[in-house]
Amino acid sequence: MYSKLQYISQGETADEQISNIHQALDHGCLWIQLRFKNASEKELIAVAQKSKALCENYGSKFIINDNIELTKKINADGVHLGLTDESPIVARTILGKEKIIGGTANTIQDVLKRVEEKCDYVGLGPFRFTDTKKQLSPILGIEGYRNIITELKSKNIHIPVYAIGGIVLDDIDELMSEGVFGIAVSGIITHHPDKKILIEQLKNRLHATT
C-alpha cells in the first residue's frame, strides 16, 4: 500500500537536501521524492545515493523526480515524471514492471493519458498557487479535483490521485472527501518549526476518513 503522504524534497545545496529528507523521515514520512533541479550530475547522484540509504533505514519508499536513468542506476523504488518529461511507457521499458512510476497531471485529459501509459499513481495539481514550482499549470482548486475525480468514477477508472500544490493542513478533509488518495507536499514540511507535530497532524487527517 502506498503512503498517503509524500514529501517532495527541497534544498539549494546537497547538504540542505539531505538534512530536509532526514528530518522528514525522522518525523514519520514514509515516502520521499527527491527533487533537486539545480544540482550537477555528480551532486545529484551523491544525494540520491545518500537519500536512498536513509530511506532504506526508515523503511520509506524512495522516488526520484524526472530521472529514469538515475532511478535505474541506484535501484530506487521508482520515478515521478512531469508532463514534459520522458514517457512513462519508456520508463516502464527501462525500469521494469516492479518499479513505481508516477506522473503529473493538470487536466482530465492528462489523467486519462497517465492511465493509458500505465502510471501507478497521478500527482494532480496544482491545488493553489505555490512558488515551489517555477512554471505552474492552471490552478485547480477544490472544484477542479471534484470534476476530475467525478469523471474518473463515471468511467470506472481507479488510480491513486495525490493532490499537490500549496496544500495546508486545513485543506485535507475537503480534498479527501472529494476522493483523492493522498497529498504530496514540500514547503509546508520543509519550513515548519515542529515537523514531528505537523507530520502527525497531516497523517491523522489523511487517515481520518479511511
Residue 134 has pLDDT above 90, yes or no: no
Q: Which residue spans within 75-181 are E strands per DSSP?
A: 78-81, 100-105, 121-124, 161-164
- Structural domain span for residue 140: 5-207
C-alpha grid cell, residue 81: 515524471
Give the chain's domain count. 1
pTM: 0.95
Identify the pLDDT of residue 6: 98
Q: What is the pLDDT, as a whole number, of residue 142?
A: 97
Q: Average pLDDT for residues 43-56, to the nearest whole number?
A: 98
The confidence score (pLDDT) of residue 116 equals 97
Q: pLDDT by residue (tens digit) across 65-118? A: 999 999 999 999 999 999 999 999 999 999 999 999 999 999 999 999 999 999
pLDDT at residue 209, rounded to an integer: 62
- Using CA atoms, how far apart are residues 20 and 149, in angstroms rounded to an integer? 32
So what's the pLDDT on residue 162? 98
Residue 49 pLDDT > 60: yes
Residue 166 has pLDDT above 60, yes or no: yes
Cell numbers at residue 163, please?
A: 493532490
CATH of the domain at 114: 3.20.20.70
Query: d(Cα 46, Cα 62) in Å, to the nearest integer?
Result: 14
pLDDT of residue 129: 79
What is the percent of the chain with per-residue pLDDT over 70, rounded to a whole number?
96
Helix, strand, coil percentages for the chain (3-state, nearest 5): 45, 15, 40
Report how far Cα 106 is from the mean position of its chain's Cα atoms.
14
Longest dimension (CA), the chain: 46
∠ Cα 196 198 199 (to 5°): 70
pLDDT given for residue 137 in this prediction: 78
